Amino acid sequence: MPHTSVDAERAYGDARFTARELFRTERSKTVCGYFEPGQFIPVHAPDSDVTVVVQSGHGVVREGEQTHEVSPGSVVTVPAGEDRGVKAGDERLETVLVTAPPPTDAEHEPVRNGLKNDEFEP
C-alpha cells in the first residue's frame, strides 16, 4: 500500500488545479487536489461516488443542487450520477478526493471542456 502525505505530494499549477494520483485500482482512485485561488474542477456527474476531504484552505463543493462552503476538516460525499464540482475560494485549497469506481475517460469530458472554456458550470 502506498504511503505519502498531502505535504509530500503538494504541487500547484498556474493554469488549472493540480491532481496528484496516489492510488488506483479498478474499484477506487485516491487523488490529492491542489487549487490556487479561484481554480476548480468543473461540475460534472460521473457514475461514481466521490468523497472530498478538505485539508487546508476554503472553497465550495457542489453536490447536486447544493453548494457546501468547506474549510479544513470538511468532508463532503457526493453519490454517483449527481452533479459535483470543487472550487477554491480566495486562498489555496488542498483536498483529498476518493472516487469509487474511478470515472472513465468519457465521463471526464465535461471536466476537460469546462477547464478549456474556464467554466465551473459548463
DSSP letters spanning 57-105: S-EEEEETTEEEEE-TT-EEEE-TTS-EEEEE-SS-EEEEEEEESPPPT
49-107 tens-digit pLDDT = 999 999 999 999 999 999 999 999 999 999 999 999 999 999 999 999 999 999 999 99
pLDDT band at 122 (very low <50, low <70, confident <90, very high): confident
The arithmetic mean of pLDDT across residues 31-57, rounded, is 97
Distance between CA 105 and CA 70 in Å, rounded?
A: 27
Q: Distance from CA of residue 65 to its chain's centroid?
A: 17
The pLDDT value recorded for residue 2 is 74
Q: Is residue 1 pLDDT above 70, yes or no?
A: no
According to the model, what pLDDT value does residue 64 have? 94
Mean of pLDDT values over 8-21: 95
DSSP 15: S
Domain boundaries defined on the chain: 19-116
CA atoms of 107 and 58, how far apart (whole Å): 27
pTM, two decimal places: 0.93
The per-residue pLDDT of the chain, averaged, comes to 95
Domain 19-116 has CATH 2.60.120.10: yes
